[in-house]
Amino acid sequence: MKVSHKIFYPPKGFLFAGISAGIKKVPKNDLGLIVSEKVCEAAGVFTSNLFLAAPVLISKQRIKSGKAKAILVNSGNANAGLGNDGIVWAKKTTRALAKELKIKESLVLAASTGVIGEPFPSEKICAALPDLIKSLNPFGYQEFTRAIMTTDTKEKISYRSFRVRGKEIRILGISKGAGMIQPKMATMLGFIITDAKVKSKWLKQLLSETVPDTFNRISIDGDTSTNDSLFLLAGGASRVALAPDQPGWTRFRGALAQVCLELATMMVADGEGVSRYFYVQVKGAKTKPDAEAVSRRIANSPLVKTAISASDPNWGRIIAAAGNAGVKFNPDRVSVSLISDDRKEKVEIFKLGARSKTYRGLELEKKASQILGRSGFQILVELDRGRESFEMITCDFTEEYVRINASYRS
């Protein structure tokens, strides 16, 4: 995976800011803002949890119009589990922002991340808005990124640009998400900004095509938050209009998918207490959902994840997890291999339902263990029952994870 933290030119027509509004206990950035110079096209995807945080309820409603002009985001408080109070508090902040920016409130989206159930500090946020707006600038995306981080240890920014008909199109992706990353919609906030000119209905379609193969195949601990939100905004300042089946569309879709996958991988790699991330590919399933179920079960197994944290090629736990996925297959046809991060080395540890005959001796055990020592390796499970496959991106499970999550509120 290439991760670029260099300075690049963000999509035209957008301003970013991030400041400290005193929401977090320590003086770190905790309030962020993205503003589009013009009303832009917008689409979003939100958590599948039944409990929806107040900003999710509000953004879900407002984004139906397909239009937006600003996104107000905070960390340090999730504004979740507060009932109607939470909605009142959230609207107070988006209303104040709309007033300051002299725009319609319905064009302001919102997102929050942090502790659930604490009263939302709307006063602090409203008081900080003038400073926040003052610091808006086209290169403010790094300050913005810092403002949405919680237990993240790294900023997660992904960027692509390409030319269509001689004109440059830029895509900037920013996300946060470290704990609670999960099957289905991972717990995260994600913001993808482009200066391409794309109608909101196409943005919506793009998200539904792209998310299943990117954000939805990562897993850290199997829990989903109440606040997951992914926004895609297209401002149009590049003056390149894009639509399906037209020139540039495939490249745009490809670049967007790369940004999403890069952000998703960064999120797994920076999961709470994660020492390495890896891939779980299941091949030869009868159906795609079967492949996905087996892959998810292995990727979410605490026993597999703790073994990996110790570089232990414990295939017993891998097959035990596979056998628990609720998917029918013949155990005697199953094989498991470990493939190195550079895809050059392959050790078959389990073959046709039994410990592989070739997997004997300290040397191979050592090699297998070495493969597990580096982020990016792959566990390949072949079911030999059909032609469908699925690959999850997941991570190991360390004592540090427990330490972080036991002390999160203290």
Residues near a second copy, by CB under 8 A: 48-52, 78, 80-86, 115-117, 179-180, 182, 221-226, 300-303, 306-307, 309-310, 312, 314-317, 319-324, 328-329, 331-332, 350, 352-355, 397-399, 401-403, 405-410
Contact 294, 381 (CB under 8 A): yes
Supply the minimum distance, in Å, between the C-beta of residue 346 and a second copy.
18
- Sign, CA dihedral 217-218-224-230, equals negative
Task: Return the DSSP state at 216.
Answer: G
Closer residue to a second copy, CB minimum distance, 243 or 352: 352
Supply the minimum distance, in Å, between the C-beta of residue 44 and a second copy.
19
Closer residue to a second copy, CB minimum distance, 26 or 50: 50
Closer residue to a second copy, CB minimum distance, 222 or 376: 222
Amino acid identity at 312: D
Q: Is 47 a catalytic residue?
A: no
Closer residue to a second copy, CB minimum distance, 185 or 193: 185
Supply the minimum distance, in Å, between the C-beta of residue 173 and a second copy.
25
Query: Any idea which residue has 């107070």 for tokens?
Result: 92
Supply the minimum distance, in Å, between the C-beta of residue 233 and a second copy.
27
Rg of the chain over Cα atoms, rounded to whole angstroms, equals 22
Tell me how far apart the alpha carbons of residues 186 and 182 are, in angstroms, rounded to a whole number: 5
Contact 377, 278 (CB under 8 A): yes
Nearest-CA neighbor of 28 among 91, 64, 76?
A: 76
Tell me how far apart the alpha carbons of residues 308 and 274 are, in angstroms, rounded to a whole number: 11
Task: Return the DSSP state at 116.
Answer: S
Supply the minimum distance, in Å, between the C-beta of residue 84 and a second copy.
7
**Of 187, 194, 210, 265, catalytic:** 187
Supply the minimum distance, in Å, between the C-beta of residue 48 and a second copy.
8
Supply the minimum distance, in Å, between the C-beta of residue 152 and a second copy.
16
Closer residue to a second copy, CB minimum distance, 27 or 326: 326
Long-range Cβ contacts of 309-312 (<8 Å, 24+ apart): 309/275, 309/276, 309/396, 309/397, 309/398, 311/369, 311/370, 311/372, 311/373, 312/369, 312/372
Tell me how far apart the alpha carbons of residues 32 and 132 are, in angstroms, rounded to a whole number: 7
Tell me how far apart the alpha carbons of residues 75 and 31 are, in angstroms, rounded to a whole number: 7
Using alpha carbons, list the distances in angstroms from residue 268 to 86, 168, 299: 30, 31, 11
Residue 280, number of CB atoms within 10 A of its CB: 27
Supply the minimum distance, in Å, between the C-beta of residue 274 and a second copy.
12
Closer residue to a second copy, CB minimum distance, 120 or 390: 120
Give 396's contacts (C-beta < 8 A, 6+ positions apart).
274, 275, 276, 277, 278, 305, 306, 308, 309
Closer residue to a second copy, CB minimum distance, 14 or 329: 329
Between vectors from CA 226 to CA 223 and to CA 232, what angle results, nearest 5°? 105
**Two tokens, residue 64:** 């139906």
Closer residue to a second copy, CB minimum distance, 350 or 390: 350
> What positions carry a catalytic annotation?
187
